[in-house]
């Protein structure tokens, strides 16, 4: 039997969506507010990730909910308030990451089918919300850019975990690419050297040495195969070579540990304390594992570690800013993105 459809009654075809490419910059995350409640929400999400704390068993849950989330939020909120961007009512990490996205968009504006956005792995804006926004704008290809020079499971991998989780619930998934770590990229090493030298030139003193401080991680994570430590070493070695400094003038250390397990060593705070006790009076600290200034650089390094140094006899301490949205920093991000977009633009 043949069914005749009356003329004009057929369902109209949907309009074709323009094909666009989405670029999503992703950084670690930040509380929405600089108070205990905001920090508690953030820490719960962060510390409940099995990539960050691998043993999520009953013991850890009791410690997290019974101790850490009761005590730590108030303390960390005070630290956040020391560095908070009161004008925008947000953390510097959020301010800087937004600026990086805006400058990247301007820097590749000649590719008018590319849309740049940004997200936080923990907190807001969430990865899910920004992927939804990009696909709603017709992006059927997505380049995710974890803003970590060195790879670790607790940073780069967990970004991918969340992206995959979002895509797992989508019927029409965008084609996905993820940028690789850029720990020894010549553009990155050159940008670090240029930025360090430019900042040193503004100081009223000449540092006796430079400390390169990276975020720490439990030693056991590296023992299990995480490449993070080796990549931090590679970054430092390349930076030493680029700046003409030996290991005694550009030290490698690790910061931000907590708990009682052994973390990557040497520890930044212990090293800085010992340097002061040994008679070093002038130092500068750079943080090559961070693409943007945040609590760990602006408060932990620039304030806490400066106080440790001076309390133990040091006189002059300089915290060198991250690359942030500076011209050298944006050159690194732009070149990384353009390289990974080859074939799509």
Average pLDDT for the chain: 95
pLDDT in tens, 110-153: 999 999 999 999 999 999 999 999 999 999 999 999 999 999 99
Looking at the domain assignment, is residue 341 inside a domain?
no
Residue 209's pLDDT is 98
Instruction: State residue 221 phi and psi, 5-degree precision.
Output: -65, -40
CA 227 to chain centre: 17
Q: Within 13 Å and on the Cβ side, how many CA atoms surround 137?
A: 19
In a domain, residue 278? The reply is yes
- Kindly provide the b/e burial profile for residues 145-166, where b requires at least 16 CB atoms within 10 angstroms of the residue's own CB: bbbbbbbbbbbbebbbbbbeeb
Picking from 149, 214, 162, the residue whose alpha carbon sits closest to that of residue 49 is: 162
Number of domains in the chain: 1
- Alpha carbon distance 109, 173 (integer Å): 25
CATH code where residue 259 lies: 3.40.50.1400
Give the H/E segment covering residue 332: helix 327-340
Whether the per-residue pLDDT at 45 is higher than 70: the answer is yes
pTM here is: 0.93
7 pLDDT more than 70: no
- pLDDT confidence of 18, banded at 50, 70, 90? low
HSE value, Cβ hemisphere, 13 Å, CA-based, for 148: 25
Domain assignment of residue 71, yes or no: no
Report pLDDT for 78. Answer: 98
Helix or strand holding residue 248 (H, E): none
Instruction: Output the DSSP codes for 91-102.
Output: -HHHHHHHHHHH
pLDDT of residue 14: 59
**Considering the domain boundaries, does residue 212 fall inside one?**
yes
* Site of tokens 């401080």: 213
* Domain annotation covers residue 65: no
Please report, rounded to a whole number, the percentage of residues in the chain having pLDDT higher than 90. Answer: 93
Asked if residue 312 belongs to a domain, the reply is yes
N residues, the chain: 345
Asked if residue 29 belongs to a domain, the reply is: no
Beta strand 20-30 pairing with 175-178: unpaired
- Residue 213: name the closest of 267, 257, 253 by CA: 253
For residue 305, give the DSSP letter. I
Residue with tokens 């945040």: 294
Q: Residue 43: inside a domain, yes or no?
A: no
Domain containing 243: what range?
Answer: 186-319
Q: Check whether 315 is labelled as a binding-site residue.
A: no
The pLDDT value recorded for residue 44 is: 97
CB 119 within 8 A of CB 125: yes
Q: Tell me the C-alpha distance between 271 and 267, whole Å.
A: 6
Q: What is the dihedral of CA 191, 195, 198, 199, to 10 degrees?
A: -170
Q: What is the pLDDT of residues 59-114, one digit of tens each?
A: 999 999 999 999 999 999 999 999 999 999 999 999 999 999 999 999 999 999 99
Does the annotation list 296 as a binding residue?
yes
- Please tell me the distance from the alpha carbon of residue 48 to that of residue 60, in angstroms, as a whole number: 9
Residue in this structure with the two tokens 């002061």, named with its chain if needed: 276
Residue with tokens 């931000």: 256
DSSP 170: -
- End-to-end CA distance of the chain, in Å? 50
């Amino acid at each position: 039997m043949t069914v005749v459809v009356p003329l004009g009654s057929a369902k109209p075809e949907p309009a074709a969506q323009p094909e666009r490419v989405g670029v999503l910059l992703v950084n670690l995350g930040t509380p929405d507010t600089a108070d205990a409640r905001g920090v508690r929400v953030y820490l719960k999400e962060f510390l409940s990730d099995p990539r960050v704390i691998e043993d999520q068993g009953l013991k850890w849950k009791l410690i997290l909910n019974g101790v850490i989330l009761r005590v730590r939020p108030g303390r960390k909120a005070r630290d956040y308030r020391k560095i908070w961007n009161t004008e925008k009512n947000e953390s510097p990490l959020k301010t800087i990451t937004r600026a990086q996205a805006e400058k990247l968009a301007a820097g590749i504006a000649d590719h008018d089918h590319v849309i740049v956005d940004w997200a936080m792995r923990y907190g807001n804006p969430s990865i899910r919300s920004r992927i939804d926004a990009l696909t709603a704008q017709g992006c059927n290809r997505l380049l995710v850019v974890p803003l970590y020079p060195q790879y670790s499971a607790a940073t780069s991998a967990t970004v991918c975990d969340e992206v995959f989780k979002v895509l797992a619930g989508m019927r029409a998934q965008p084609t996905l690419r993820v940028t690789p770590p850029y720990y020894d990229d010549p553009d990155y090493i050159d940008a670090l050297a240029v930025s360090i030298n430019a900042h040193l030139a503004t100081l009223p003193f000449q540092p006796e040495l430079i400390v390169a401080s990276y975020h720490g991680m439990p030693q056991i994570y590296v023992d299990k195969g995480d490449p993070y430590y080796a990549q931090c070493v590679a970054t430092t070695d390349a930076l030493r070579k680029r700046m003409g400094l030996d290991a005694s003038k550009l030290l490698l250390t690790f910061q931000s540990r907590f708990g009682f397990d052994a973390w990557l060593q040497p520890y930044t705070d212990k090293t800085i304390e010992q340097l002061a006790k040994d008679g070093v009076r002038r130092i500068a600290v750079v943080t090559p594992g961070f693409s943007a200034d945040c609590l760990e650089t602006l408060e932990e390094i620039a304030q806490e570690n400066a106080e440790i140094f001076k309390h133990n006899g040091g006189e002059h301490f300089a915290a060198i800013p991250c690359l942030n949205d500076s011209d050298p920093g944006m050159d690194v991000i732009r070149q990384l993105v353009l390289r990974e977009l080859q074939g799509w633009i």
